[in-house]
Chain A
């Protein structure tokens, strides 16, 4: 292959991810993005400037050697590229699909300033899919066993990433999942059209091949406490990655009307319980021909509103209290939602849900907001405009304004210190909690965040669990300095 000069590379334009046509995909649950062809992948990889100091890697929470793997893609060495990615990310087929690349690797890419960044997410996905589709996923080589046992609580992104590394260190790992299916938010939350469940199952099957044990229907905190795991169950360490699973509601009148769903319930009914399939026994209110309003501006809100469209909603709207600029959702999801016909209503909040005599939702009273001064996070704070209320017809409302940590586990482990927000107190560098032998990571520590951050935290914890099991030393994080007065 001819070496391109830097200038030549910069003249190439970013390839476009092939995707299902909006009109047809609005009516099905199969994946929207179809994935790059090998030709497109090579074409895109050749755009990479191979920066000597690749800033994209700084933007990646798990520091994948991006330029190395893209270089291999450009040479057509796809299986080698997969190996490079997997040194840092055990679930690339998932991350390539769901990471907010524009805020991470692609946001940092030097080409982002001039034109369009390298499609790093699409390439990561391509490489992972290529490996899987060509059965190149390396069989686990036998690893010397350490004989130490680790319990991983939760089979979402944090738990899976943690389990992978622990298994590679040779520890015996058991993953406990509360639901009947493995994958946590990857299966109950993220819809099929964005992350096919088959991909999650393949990744989990690989972990099983590595000897990781999975136990479903195991609600830790109820069937076993953390003390039980460390005591009679004989585990040497525990990783808590149970996510942030307690849905928030706006606390306004009428929110218990039939037809007001939390995003968790709405998505769980559709994704985990497969209410979109004819043979599922799990019902969902009829959406065909109905008005559906989704409150929130994150990825979960986008997932819910696009799900509503696919279930036949006549009108599916996003109602968000700030402006579009402040929406935390991935750009691609917003773009896809708009293509599919989602209506975006910015700067509005619900103040009351209204129902009929049978208790079914019929409408919502909304209030106009305007943007005020920036808040602590730097986003402009929405402020209600007095006297700006109005009424709209709504048959089904989905509340996607975030989750609080589920207190279920914490209640049974009083020695796990919590923050005032109910998240677990940990040492960020090691994932150690305030209880010896117990580590935590993911949304239960950060509050609602992203798949990749949870995976990063799972890996950090795995490394420090390994260290703890090797040395037996439990470094208690430094006591906070007491401020007099």
Chain B
């Protein structure tokens, strides 16, 4: 069992969970994830390690409540326990001295991008962060990003915070007016990552995305997380989760992520009904 040490909401339906996991905290590298099971009948879901402290022995998970499992996790508070946390899994982010790096986080994607941004900064890169959300309350980790970036541009669809527009609009500005960009790391909803890839492709800017397919074991055993990159089948859990954005088949990823939509919807409704019953 893994104890939750601290928990608080970063945005509507987005929760920060600090979890005691000393071994994982020591071993993890930026870009890696854990597989979490929220209950004894629960499914296994991947969550990227958003932060960790090796000396204090914790890892941080930032979880967006979209289905039953993530909603369930988001009810946890300090002192609660998570039955299973396995990791670190996946290949770490490639950390090099690229030069001028733009890190883009869309919604909860900012949490996934944050540790890699910090490592890129530490490796001597100039780091510019674009962190987007629908409106101001959905933009997360602004302060944390500020601490590890040379510049941070919050963007909101409604203009309630920072730049009024999409992250790609801001990126287009930077491409047009800023110094040449050596690497773009984009993590967020699939349409956002695809839009970033489409934007940087004609400029030949190396672009990396972190993919979030459905997983079961997370160790390469089941192949459920198959993605196509450059026409080749890869397992996101062991070959990724980060891939060359210009080679990813986003259509396939989108379709495969919808495989169990009906089931997920049903489970969520059942769970919400049960929760409503409890709270009455």
A residues lining the B interface (CB < 8 Å): 178-180, 188, 216-219, 222-224, 245-247, 249, 255-256, 258, 261-262, 264-265, 268-269, 273-274, 277, 279-283, 285, 358-359, 406-408
Contacts and interface: CB of A to CB of B under 8 A. Distances in A.
A375 B267 CA distance: 50
Task: In the A-B complex, list the 10 residue pairs whose CB atoms are closest, starting with the nearest.
Answer: A359-B255, A265-B222, A217-B86, A283-B263, A283-B260, A245-B221, A180-B84, A262-B223, A281-B43, A282-B43
Contacts of A282: 43-44, 216
Contact of A281 (B23, B24, B42, B226): B42
Given A258-B255, A281-B42, A359-B256, A178 B223 contact: no
B258 A178 contact: no
B83 A180 contact: yes
A362 to B, nearest CB: 13
B71 to A, nearest CB: 11
Given A265-B216, A273-B43, A222 B252 contact: no
27 contacts: A178-B217, A179-B86, A180-B44, A216-B84, A216-B86, A217-B86, A222-B87, A223-B23, A245-B220, A247-B222, A258-B255, A258-B259, A261-B224, A262-B222, A262-B224, A265-B222, A265-B224, A268-B222, A281-B39, A281-B41, A281-B267, A285-B260, A406-B219, A406-B220, A406-B221, A407-B238, A408-B219
Interface string B229-259: 0000100001000000000000010011011
A247 B223 contact: yes
Given A222-B89, A282-B43, A359-B256, 16 more contacts: A179-B86, A188-B217, A188-B221, A219-B87, A223-B88, A246-B220, A247-B221, A247-B223, A258-B258, A265-B224, A273-B44, A280-B43, A281-B39, A281-B68, A283-B43, A283-B267
A216 B86 CA distance: 8
User: Which of A179, A261, A285 has the most chain B CB within a 10 Å cutoff?
Assistant: A179
A256 B217 contact: no
Contacts of A247: 221-223
A178 B217 CA distance: 9
Interface of B: 23-24, 27, 37, 39, 41-44, 68-69, 83-89, 216-217, 219-224, 226, 228, 233, 238, 252, 255-256, 258-260, 263-264, 267
Contacts of A407: 220, 238
Nearest to A216: B84
Nearest to B255: A359
A146 B263 CA distance: 53
Contacts of B84: 180, 216-217
Contact of B27 (A217, A223, A258, A262): A223
A274 B221 CA distance: 17
A359 B259 CA distance: 9
A385 to B, nearest CB: 28
User: Which of B24, B223, B260 has the most chain A CB within a 10 Å cutoff?
Assistant: B223
B220 A359 contact: no
A281 B69 contact: yes
B260 A255 contact: no
Contact of A279 (B41, B87, B264): B41
A218 B68 CA distance: 25
B226 A256 contact: yes
B221 A268 contact: yes
B78 to A, nearest CB: 22
Nearest to A357: B255
Nearest to B90: A222
A269 B221 CA distance: 12
Given A217-B86, A222-B87, A273-B43, A358 B258 contact: yes
